[in-house]
Amino acid sequence: MDPQNTNRSTEAKLLLNHAKTLRLHTGNLVNRSRLKKKCPCSPSEELRDCIQATLSDWFSTTNLSSKDLPHTLDCSIHEATDAITPEEREEVKVSAKLFLCESGQSSIKDAVEMACQTLAVSQLDSVIIAPPGPLEGDSQSLAHLQPAWEELEALVRSQRIAAIGTSDLDKDMLEQLFNWAQVKPSSNQVNLASCCVMPPDLTAFAKEFDIQLLTHNDPKELMSASTFQEAVQEGVQDLNITDWRLEWVLRYSVIVKSRGIIKSKGYLVSARKASP
């Protein structure tokens, strides 16, 4: 390793060792040639590639200084950002899916605020929530969903989100949520890997109450703690990051309404260092 790379590696370690929070923005994946060449087999592999490449690019191009050691490290590739201009805002739809990686640690507001700031918009058109799965041995319940949904409802009332949706709810759970919620779910994603045909009872309920049924191929756990740590280690070599935990992942897409094409897409990631 040449002296410049050795110095950058040292600076990177200092920054990550001091920081308490890591915020990462992959930039627009439609434009990032380094990532466009890859054809990941799954959303998990795509996210891993994005984290590794973004960290690697950020540490190799950013002017690092150990004199200023921030508690929050913001890693983004400025050339690849995809802010939406006021002139084009009416022409595009901004949708997001938020994966919460830890139970009992709601970070929905932080994720939505970061998405709005990153894309330079005041409101996201739709957000679908994928809360962490219930603890082993427990079944999913309305009580498990309520805290996250209440936070989403608050963001609808403050006009940060226009519409909110759910993921992987069967007919009974969707009905319970619909009856309880003040802001009703506008959509529900169904994973066709576990359900080749939409269940008739779910289809009937969704049609009756005007809930859009969508399909997806995301795994139940988008990224495990060990996979996240491996991706960071690949981006910042020779660094022990076993005390870092993935907090949430927000995947967004900006779609041109008139043409139905994706103008931009990317990931926002937040991780936190575990308290000693």
Burial code (b: 16+ CB inside 10 Å, e: under 16) for 210-225 equals: ebebeebebeeebbee
pLDDT digits (tens, 9 = 90+) for 193-234: 766 678 899 999 999 999 999 999 898 888 888 888 888 887
Tokens of 48: 């891993």
Task: Find the Cα–Cα–Cα–Cα dihedral 259, 262, 264, 269, rounded to 10°.
Answer: 140
Comparing 80 with 180, which gets the higher pLDDT?
180
DSSP characters for the chain? --HHHHHHHHHHHHHHHH-SEEEEE---TTT-HHHHT---SSHHHHHHHHHHHHHHHHHHHS---TTS--SEEEEE-GGG--PPPTTTGGGEEEEEEEEE-STT---HHHHHHHHHHHHT-S-EEEEEEEPPPPPTTPPP-HHHHHHHHHHHHHHHHTTSEEEEEEES--HHHHHHHHHH-SS--SEEEEETTS-SS--HHHHHHHHHTT-EEEEE---SSSS-HHHHHHHHHHHSTT---TTEEEEEEEEEEEEETTTTEEEEEEEEEEEEEPP-
What pTM was computed for the model? 0.89
Q: Does residue 136 register a pLDDT over 70?
A: no
Three-class HEC string of 156-215? HHCCCEEEEEEECCCHHHHHHHHHHCCCCCCEEEEECCCCCCCCHHHHHHHHHCCCEEEE
pLDDT digits (tens, 9 = 90+) for 88-134: 999 999 999 999 987 665 689 999 999 999 999 999 999 999 987 66
The confidence band for 78, taking pLDDT boundaries of 50, 70 and 90, is low
Average per-residue pLDDT in the chain? Answer: 84
Task: Name the most confidently modeled range: 47-51, 178-182, 243-247.
Answer: 178-182
| Beta strand 187-191 pairing with 72-76 | unpaired
CA 210 to CA 143: how far, in whole Å?
24
